Structure 1
Amino acid sequence: MGLAVHFKATYQQSRIYVWGVILMILLGRLADLIVTLSLGNDHSTRLSDGNLLILILIFMSILLPLVYYKRIIHLGASREHYYMGLQFVYAAWAAVIALINSLWFVLEVKVLRQYTATIDLVEAFQWDQFGLVGSFLYQLAFYMMAMALISLLVSGYSSPVGWLLWALVIAAIPVGTAIPSLRAHVVDFFETLLFNDSLVIGVGFNLLLYAAFVAGGWLFTRRRTH
């Protein structure tokens, strides 16, 4: 099965969520506009509209391991073809959202912030220090890593090991920040992951985690029976 076929098939599975997110953003901004026109100037800070598109990636990394797997295996594809196709689809959508966010941030800084106050993850995580291309690459690596992690957790939903991973992920941050001896390590981890001053190290660390999560997801996938 070709990669283009994977992309088209997965889009058919998830298009309601893709357009649902876009519609939600448009309706939310329309409501903001109506309130602003009715009550006067609104100087409250909002999350960037481009950043809200990240919800598409979250929906896909949850939905596709559950729904697309059953469909493609039923059609006779192997687990290897399914999993390779899934990683291509994740990378393609991560690249699309990263590109949109990179370009949208430029538009915000040069135009939109004259009229509305926004906060953008590109700026919050200081990815803008690497320029347009560097910001795109950092986002791409982070989005791929995050999608691989979510997909890993979802793929292991029927396994006791998967349940253990869910428990560890949920408990990691509150436990790590509550114990003084671990708190510094948690901070260092997120600084390396998200706030790295080196583009090479930041992207490399995210891709290293991505490779680990993809390998873990494959261990679950190759044993799936439903």
Structure 2
Amino acid sequence: MEKEIESVVLTELHGTHGLDSLLLQNHVYGCFILMEDIVESTITLSGTTITNDGYTFDIDTQFSEIGIRYGFLMDTSLDLTNYQEEYKKKWMELFRHLNDSHDMTVVERVEDAVLALLQKNVKEEDAFLMSALETGTLSRGWQDRFIKLIKGRKQSAEVSVQSSVQSSVQSAESPVKKEEEEEQPTTGVSRAHIEKPVKNRQGSGLHKTRRQRKDIPSKKNLSSTRRSCRI
């Protein structure tokens, strides 16, 4: 099954960088931890619902949240909301298979294949998962890079909103200017200057939305390097 997971991860990874790459890597790491928990019976998986000491989580309807619940960065702004359906389908099939088999060798093969894929295809400056592999968390330096990426996306969103506002105002004013031009006298008998007040029209319903690399240890098993605190 590792080939299928490797294929869908590679598809999702294609063309991503910066924050988008981080979102995917955080989700993949969360899936790693979830695999181990299922195999080791640390949690109970019934259908698509995980339960553990009063905690419930639906891995189907809340699939996008796997990273922020089990990943190396538990930040609610890091939901993986943009992914192909095949990516989700293959992970769900794997979770069900592991729940039936409890085979840790499958987990190890999947992890090894995906880690090799990430090391080969992720740029060094985006290698968040490889950095978090040993401890389950990011170092101060990588945390700083994450913060800069979040701030950069927020600033880009604000610039986009300002541009949208400006465009809406210009579009609203254009018909007024056209009306003025049409009402200017065309006969030119008296050459009188006719002034007409311009109506202010505000744009409607504007909505603002917010939106180094390490060598892979031979046969790395994440279960021996699990973070000490996890939901």
TM-score, normalised on structure 1? 0.30
More helix by share: 1
TM-score, normalised on structure 2? 0.30
Higher gyration radius (CA) = 2
